[in-house]
Amino acid sequence: MTDFRSLSARELAPYIQHTLIAVGTTRQQAEEHARQTIEYGFDAAMVAGSWVGLTASILEGTGIKVASALDFPTVGVMTSRGKAAEAEELVRLGAQEIDIGVQIGWLKSGDYDAFREDVAGVVRAAGVPIKVMLELPLLTEDEKKAAIELSVEAGAAYLKNASSGAIEVANPDSIRYLVDHAPPGVKVKASGGIKTRQQVVELLEAGASLVGTSAGIAIVTDTADEKTESY
């Protein structure tokens, strides 16, 4: 078992998906983000779909993954067919993992089959690991269990506590909850307001396999502070 507290800040990089999803991102910023991912040895460059192709071309041959997100940052607004089609296109452009928003409203309405099929459609179309953003603070205990069960049945490879810090600042309790309820083979990714090395260590100790943050460089260079914006 890895002793995460003994790792240097820089040694945490392989557990971090370096995120840049922001309005108005320029080509120069996208290129620099990809180069940073290589320089610091992050697990993946997480970018908006519009920059997947460019990012993939820069990361080609490095062994570093290209990841993207859909039905995000406003979660649950896309149609299921649209979501599946976008997932297929992201993979064509070079995405190797996709984080997706789920239909929390359908879940709360009792439309379990539709919720499951929404995720399953993306899994089938993409053919790459899919991470589901479950928005745990918005769910009752029964809804949490149902969301996990339905997502796993749909083929999700990862469970996520939330889509961003606006929903929940990632915390060990939420991560342990997902780990405890996930079947073997389904992993957990932490996201939302992750800004410091200490947070990363605590989330990994709680069982997260990955963390997603836009504060990755500050974290691995030990220059992070509470004012750093992260997703």
Q: Which sequence positions are flagged as catalytic?
A: 99, 160, 189
Report the candidate in 158, 72, 80 with the shortest Cα–Cα distance to residue 113. Answer: 80
Q: Structure tokens of 33?
A: 């983000």
Three-state SS for 201? helix
Q: How far apart are CA 231 and CA 229, in angstroms?
A: 7
- What are the backbone dihedrals phi and psi of residue 184, each rounded to the nearest 5 degrees, phi first? -55, 135
Q: How far apart are CA 174 and CA 17, in angstroms?
A: 19
Q: Report DSSP letters for 130-144, one per residue.
A: EEEE--GGGS-HHHH
